[in-house]
Amino acid sequence: MNTNHTIRQASTEDIPAIKRLADETWEPTYKSILSKEQIDYMFEVIYSEAALEAQMKEGQTFLLLLEEAQPVGFAAYSVKDAEASVYKLNKIYLLPQTQGKGYGKILLQEVEQQAKKAGAAILDLNVNRHNNAKAFYERAGYHVHQQEDIAIGPYWMNDYVMRKAL
């Protein structure tokens, strides 16, 4: 495992780097699951610079994982249900060429630690029902809590909601 990495909280100045990372990870992640049209539509809705800035202002905390000072991955989390102490991992992506270095596990554990410090007792995440990442989350201690279908414009995300007690 490469130990030459750091994780830091991202700010609005990091939005171009987050957008670039999303651009390089989004299509490889979803091309076998979603149509090109759906990928392009959702990418614009979620990863335009304005959308990322709005997500930050609405309370999503973004973390950047850097390898040798270069951003290679990111994650974002936020409060889902404050009363029940449930937080949500909104997104986690790593450049395809860095996969297998343990960075996904490192970044996920950092989100879990930060969410727990902020008051989370439970961390939820959504994963497409056809996404191989489901096995990664199961290895990290998550279980399928429920299924949900989410409309995004004219398209649907068919997800598992996975949950872990922190």
Q: What is the domain count for the chain? A: 1
Cβ neighbours of residue 84 closer than 8 Å, sequence gap 6 or more: 121, 122
pLDDT value, residue 3: 64
- DSSP assignment of 32-48: TTS-HHHHHHHHHHHHS
pLDDT value, residue 99: 85
Quick: pLDDT tens for 25-84. 999 999 999 999 999 999 999 999 999 999 999 999 999 999 999 999 999 999 999 999
Residue type, 21: L
In the sheet that holds 86-94, the strands lie side by side as: 5-9, 61-67, 70-81, 86-94, 122-128, 155-165, 143-152
CATH label of the domain that carries residue 96: 3.40.630.30
Domain that holds residue 59: 5-165
- Residue predicted with more confidence, 117 or 29: 117
Q: How far apart are CA 24 and CA 136, in angstroms?
A: 20
**Cβ pair 71, 65 in contact under 8 A:** yes
- Interval 103-129 mean pLDDT: 97
